[in-house]
Every structure is written in structure tokens, then in C-alpha cells.
Structure 1
Amino acid sequence: MEIDDLDRKILSLLIEDSRLSYREIAKKLNVAVGTIYNRIKKLEDMGVIQGFTVKLNYEKLGYELTAIIGIKAQGKKIREIERIIARDKHVTCVYDVTGEYDIIVIAKFRSREDMNRFVKSVLSVDGVEKTNTHVALEIVKEDFRLEP
């Protein structure tokens, strides 16, 4: 199944406000409520929509530190290391990358002590050779919502 212009318009509205009802979306797009229901169901079945969530301000929740951590790992253990790290409650993103490091992790912490414990726990994972941690001084933009 292909994604058409109506699907993209629905996605754009949901990206802005995932609380919109089918009725509100239908009214904004001038189509039947049943059409909206069917389209959203199709997008979920296709895996395009993976869930509905809220956008949080993590600093206001006490997460003062955002760290970008490069991890050098033994090649055959990279996938397992990524799975282990991805389970940690501080981790928001895990990327398998090219370049000097094999894995890039984005994580949020309430304190330097939390970050220190996390980095040391990563270093203790079998196959991790080294880490390089950068702390964000200011978050200029942090928004993973792209136009569909």
C-alpha cells in the first residue's frame, strides 16, 4: 500500500496533536470520519504509525544533562551491546553508525552521578572498548517530528 496526500495530511495533524479525535481530523480535512478511521488503521497496520505519545520537556522533569556518547566496540558484539544499552531508562536513542565509533547513544540524566554510573556500566559491558562522552551545554532543537 502506498501513502498518499490524504495520509500525509492526517500524519501532519497527528504530529502536531496526537490527541485529535477522528471527528476533528475529518472536519479539518473535509472527509468522512470513517475514512479517517480506515486511513489511521491502515497506517498503523503498515507500521507507519507506531503509537501515540506526548512531547515532554525533560529539563522540567529534572533531567538537566543530555549526553551524546560514542562507543567503540568489538565488531561481533555490537548488536548485543546496543540491545543492552537500549534497555537503560536513561537512553533515548541508540544508533549503529559509521566512523570512529560504532555506536552513538543519546541519554538524559538528572545528575552527574547518574551519568557517571551509566558510563561506567557501559564500560563494564563485555565487548565495549572505550567511550567518549559529550555533554550538551544547550539544547537548541530537539524534535524528532518530521513532515511526512
Structure 2
Amino acid sequence: MAISGGNLFAMDAVDQEILDVLRADSRTSMRELAQRLGISRTSAYARVKRLVDSGVIRAFTIEVDPAALGLGLSAYIHVRTKQNSWKSFRKKVWALEEAAHVALVSGDFDAVILVRARDAEHLRELVLERIQSLPEVVATQTVLVFEEHVGQ
């Protein structure tokens, strides 16, 4: 079972296998998907369409290596914001090209931002001059990422 748009979506083992294959390579053809799962192409198309239409599959995407783009330094920026400022803060942070992920969280901080920077100077400028200067920001804490693994 999966929750999609607040509704429970009934998934069987074949649906789960489809998700596993497409997570590993979203460019997998329907022909190859059907062969790997031992189902017809018609069934593969129908199942993928049902997963998309129900919202279980939200997008087919690519994974880019930030270091190959010259963004070899990653960090999590923990941010404490002023009361009731999440929506305006989120909009401004998503406008930063360095922001890879933004989340509202519980705990000592209100938000966590995963950022990608060229180097330490770029990260310093991003945090001290652009993020901390936002009127919604009360405090930040920067956590450098030494090694990263993306799971499926």
C-alpha cells in the first residue's frame, strides 16, 4: 500500500517492482520493463499509467552529479525563522539556484536546506550574505557534507 494524495493506493508486488526498476533508471523502455517483470507491454503501460495517474509516480527525472557541474561542496543549512514566516521564507529560498532541497522540520530549527556550492567562499557568501540577510531568518547552523549517497 502507498499513500497518494491523502488516499491509500493498493500496490501489488509487480507495482513495487516497476517502482524499483524506474527508480534505478527512469529511462527504462516499456519493452524492457515488461521483459524484466515477465508481463506484457500492454500491462506495463497500463500499470505505469495507473501509478502516474494516481500520483504515486510524480515525475520521471534525472540525477545530476553536482561536482561535474562545478558544485563540489554540499551543506545542510539549518534555519530558525520568525513565527509564521515559512511561506515567504520557502519562496525566497527556492529562488536560490544553490538550493537543492528545502524542508520544514521539527526540533531546534524550523527548516533545513540542502545547498550546492562551488567552494567554501561561495558557501560563505550564500549563508552569510544571502540566507542570513533574509528578514525571516533568526539563526542558521551550517553542516558540511563530506560524503553523500542517494538511496532508492
One-letter amino acid of the counterpart of residue 2, structure 1: A
Instruction: Please point out which of 135, 145, 149 is paired with 1:142.
Output: 149
Displaced runs of 4 or more, over 3 A: none
In 1, Cα distance between equivalents of 2:135 and 2:55: 33
In 1, Cα distance between equivalents of 2:39 and 2:22: 16
In 2, Cα distance between equivalents of 1:113 and 1:46: 44
Instruction: Please point out which of 66, 69, 77 is paired with 2:85.
Output: 77
- Please identify, of 107-116 and 67-76, the stretch whose mean Cα deviation from structure 2 is larger: 107-116
In 2, Cα distance between equivalents of 1:40 and 1:87: 32
Q: Deviation at 1:95?
A: 1.4
Q: Deviation at 1:13?
A: 0.7
One-letter amino acid of the counterpart of residue 62, structure 1: G
- For residues 40-119 of structure 1, the aligned pairs below 5 Å read 40-119=48-127
SS at match of 1:3: coil
One-letter amino acid of the counterpart of residue 138, structure 2: E
In 1, Cα distance between equivalents of 2:92 and 2:32: 41
Instruction: Please point out which of 131, 137, 152 is paired with 1:128.
Output: 137
TM-score by length of 1: 0.88
| Residue deviations 1:46-83 (CA, integer Å, cap 9, x gap) | 11112222223222321121111111111210222122
In 1, Cα distance between equivalents of 2:54 and 2:117: 34
In 1, Cα distance between equivalents of 2:136 and 2:66: 31
| Residue deviations 1:94-142 (CA, integer Å, cap 9, x gap) | 1111111111111111122322232121112122111111222x21x42
SS at match of 2:55: coil
SS at match of 1:81: helix
SS at match of 2:10: coil
Q: Calculate the aligned-residue CA RMSD, in Å.
A: 1.5
Q: Deviation at 1:144?
A: 4.1
SS at match of 1:55: coil
Alignment-derived partner of residue 8 in structure 1: 16
Aligned sequence identity (%): 27
5+ unaligned residues in a row in structure 2: which ranges?
A: 1-8
TM-score by length of 2: 0.86
| Residue deviations 1:9-67 (CA, integer Å, cap 9, x gap) | 11111111111100111011111101111111111111111222222322232112111
In 2, Cα distance between equivalents of 1:6 and 1:104: 35
